[in-house]
Structure 1
């Protein structure tokens, strides 16, 4: 009898485990693929757009939280006009809509900054893309989990910090600090403020810096695995030394000026003259051709924007002019 009772208890526990496993599998989302084969959670994507506007005055404008792309352009205007494209995925439209409804856009303003904070009840299934035009001389801070960032024609101080995604900056004229883990970074300056230090850094990716040919600047560049190249600029006081599978390079143009620090662990660095005869057209850097000191960087975590053929577009635009 004792053995029979023990056996029944064991079989009962196994039965509960099987039922529990079945319930867990039932809660898992279907796996979907984009057109280029990228795996996604949930076959259905639901999208809506929320519009917000604010006059930041002299305050930095902040976009923080969640994943998704950022594309901002500087313009001669006093308000920041932004569109937040909320994306939610699920096994059904109802599930995707529930994810979208759980995405929040919280505004908070102080004398020091004006921030848009993005959050979601189900972060794995949610993303928010940010688009818009901001006052040209506004300072920006972007602090998100992942996604490509593109900023053009914004002359205020710029800070970008996230884990995954390429960063492209065109026509910068203020202090710049870019720190990411995976992705290429391209920064084009139309001018640099006198003094100070600019920091451009990625752990895995290439760096490209574009400067006006007559700019006075000090360069401090280092890659642990990759090459360093210069194009179209005349440097003095150059110092170059191989380091591991990479190199260290220090140089100067003109006399004095701000310092630009360039750092990558796995990737190459290009420092080149910007085309001042036309508008800055800095683009994301291509991989630098290999040489004796080049090794291929590890692949970055995929940060492609979510796409799916079954997409719902519901316009929930509502202007907010809170200052």
Structure 2
């Protein structure tokens, strides 16, 4: 599989992306080519510093870097030779199978949308994030691509999320819930109420109704649908809360010698919980609904996260979710479109 990596994207670029490349080369035999997109001198220097070398690597020049202060649209229009734009170009032209970036999310979404376009009968792509819970992993969609959505867009999210859950997570008949402030049908804002009506009429979607905050961490459905603003708040709060809780536990363990001994005995359990809740273990989030594959990692992605984002790209290519999304979207074309 051939993956294009935005080496200049992220808070710790190019160090962490290149370190992730090193891990990927060691652990992903399906990887046949990695296009390292960015400023050649910077990439070559970092490869040399970390001792990374492989015939699978190819540097693709890009003279510009997207700053976090840039808007997504400006990043595409005014920085046409940026690393994310050139990486997406490789997928658009068929040279690469997927693109991975830990850089500016808005730029990655905009570049992918402008250059790849959406699948037939999908109006907006959505970020899908695999999330943990007490009982199973579940899919949050949209996790940040579209802060302002209309009900048909959320139905599209449900269809895309169901296809991903079925073909990637292996859920035979994935359940779908709508994020709201209560499970009762009359709860929620206008967006939730109208979306709920549409989802109940959409054949092929196993809609189980509204879900609220505690549901998604205890007994979630396979797919939780929401707008990008709500989803991004959920995602970032979950990551921050997990980090804070581990910090609190670590602090309390060091209070006395008794708790220190207990902490040592419980250390294997803590490690397992940390692994199950760490975003680094997932690595990246697919931007579903595009005529191509884009994996978005978080800005502070560690080398492990970058490796797993590349793994996610390889798995997305392998599972070929896009044809299944397009078929389902076509079957519900009348429901999915926003009325002009």
Q: TM-score, normalised by structure 2?
A: 0.29
Structure 1 or 2: more helix by fraction: 2
TM-score computed with the length of structure 1 as normaliser:
0.30
* Structure of greater Rg: 1
Q: Which has the higher contact order (CA 8 A, sep 6+)?
A: 2
Choose between structure 1 and 2: higher strand proportion. Answer: 1
